[in-house]
Structure 1
Amino acid sequence: MLELAPEIIALLFLAAVAAGFVDAIAGGGGLITVPALLAAGVSPVAAIATNKIQGSCGTAAATWTFWRKGRIDFALLKWPLIATVVGAALGAVTVMFVDTTWLMVLLPLLLAAIAVYFLVGPKASDEDVHARLTPFAFGAVAGGIGFYDGFFGPGAGSFFALALVTLLGMGLTRATAHTKALNLASNLVSVAVFAVGGQVLWAVGLSMAVGQVIGGWLGSHAAMRFGPRLIRPLLVVICLAMVVKLLSDPTNPLRVWLAGFF
């Protein structure tokens, strides 16, 4: 059983507060907490599993805050939530058995594309527009993102937010609120699968969960107060920061390929 020094636990707690704040607004907090767990000596699969524990609590705090303010329509999310749960369960099972190298090539490209969309694309306001998909059809998209969230996770909030804005026509603050509900569903089912597989470090995850709840509460209130003025730029910054973080790894396959190309 891995034992961490108190000062390491304290640093992981602070990382969880920052991740909870970011997650509640733009997603991507996993790119703060997963590397922090890996740096503390936690194995990759255990880091992903433990990250789901603390991420679930922070997302639950944000979801509760948005729901109490009347920002989440669970009737609308019925089919997307079901699809997200199924996708997340399949993703969590898959990550314990397959090589994730290909994901390190695809993920930076997807995150960069999202950043470009929110930076130069149509201005995402708080006004709802015509939906391109029905909630039932959107379930297929939600299921795919749920699979990714169970499989790896960081950036899933950004993917959900973009899909809700572009495909269900939601305003940015409303999309952010509904993203939290979808994220919570995928996190909870992932935790269940990882727990059955014995991959969760419960003491570490629960201590970080306290920090996530604090950060999630602060972030959700900030999102409702400032709306797109805060959400849009933070989405861009977080997506680009995640791209830089992923490509900062000298072993990242995409970085290796680009270095050889140039």
Structure 2
Amino acid sequence: MELSLEILSWLFVAALVAGFIDTLAGGGGLITIPALLLAGVAPLEALATNKLQSVFGVATASATLFRRRLLVWQEMRALFFAALAGSALGAASVQLINPQMLDWVIPLVLLLIAAYYLLAPKAGDLETRPRIRALTYQRFWVPVIGFYDGMFGPGTGSFFATSAVALRGYTLLDATVRAKFLNLATNLAALAVFALGGELVWSIGLVMLVGQALGAWLGTQAVLKGGSRLIRPLLVTTCVLMLIRYFWTG
């Protein structure tokens, strides 16, 4: 697939902006997937290529967080593999499941996330008592969110972060930090499945991954400096924008 320099430049910028936003609040796919479709990439190839560039963004963010000792492998290992398994299953199922089934599920979840932070403005400010056991979160919620990411994707970071705040009692900053690494797992698994299926458009993916990595690095610096004060409004805004997109395209 041959594209002009102008279109490739546009895709680079789209990936850079998506990497920045995705690191802070999730929802980078809201930018990159429509950009790929507008560039003439087929839907399944767009999903696959989006995973290629996304994985470099979350890998950049995760590496920075590990260096700052905000992430510890021993604490994240079981969650990482749970997210990996869920995403692999989702990516393998994407050709067997009618994606229209998500047309009402995703807007509902996005609405609940936005309402949660708007109606409970202090949610995630302080660590609270967990509402479910760690094992339940690991064996059910993480794989379910991973499955969604493997099958579709946009908003996964928001889902991981909000579930950790609401169900496990983390602060919003800690939940966002952990969400980056879980998002790395889901992207890696989906990327492997799509690569085996030959769905990747490498020329586009390689250009976008550079922009995604740069945007993710900038976003990580913003997370470390701005904390939850910066994350919360972006997370709500991202959810609202994704809601608008679903209803507009629906």
TM-score, structure 1 normalization = 0.92
AA aligned to 1:111 is L
Give the deviation of 1:13 after TM superposition.
Answer: 0.3
Quote the Cα distance in structure 1 between the aligned partners of 2:97 and 2:174.
Answer: 36
How far residue 119 of structure 1 moved from its aligned partner, in angstroms, is 1.1
Matching residue of 2:222: 222
Tell me if the contact between 1:126 and 1:174 (Cα under 8 Å) persists in the aligned partners.
no
SS at match of 2:131: coil
Paired residues in the alignment total: 249
Equivalent in the alignment of 1:196: 196
Shift of 1:122: 5.1
Which residue of structure 1 lines up, in the alignment, with residue 207 of structure 2? 207
- Contact 1:118/1:124 (CA < 8 Å) preserved in 2? yes
Shift, 1:127, TM fit:
3.0
Instruction: Please say if 1:36 is aligned against 2:35.
Output: yes
Kept in 1: contact 2:86–2:144 (CA 8 A): yes
Q: CA deviation at 1:96?
A: 2.2
* 3-state SS of 2:50 partner: helix
| Residue of structure 2 equivalent to 1:236 | 236
**Within 5 Å, which residues of 2 pair with 1:64-103?**
64-103=63-102
Q: What code does the residue aligned with 1:32 have? A: I
Greater CA drift, 38-47 or 166-175? 166-175
Structure 1 segments unaligned to the other structure (5+ residues): 253-262
Calculate the TM-score normalised by the size of structure 2.
0.96
Equivalent in the alignment of 1:260: none
Q: Which runs of 5+ in 2 are unaligned?
A: none
CA distance in 1, matches of 2:112, 2:128: 22
1:212 and 1:246 map into 2 onto residues whose CA distance is 23
What amino acid is aligned across from residue 62 of structure 2 in structure 1?
A: T
The alignment-based identity, stated in percent, is 47
Deviation >4 Å, runs of 4+: none
Maintained 8 Å contact 1:79/1:135? no
Partner of 2:146: 146
SS at match of 1:213: helix
Displacement of 1:241: 0.5
Distance 2:133 2:59 in 1: 26
For the structure 1 residues 229 and 159, does the alpha-carbon distance in structure 2 shift closer, same or farther, using more than 3 Å as the test? same
Partner of 1:186: 186
Map 1:112-123; keep pairs closer than 5 Å: 112-121=111-120, 123=122
Structure 1 contact 54–208 (Cα < 8 Å) conserved: yes
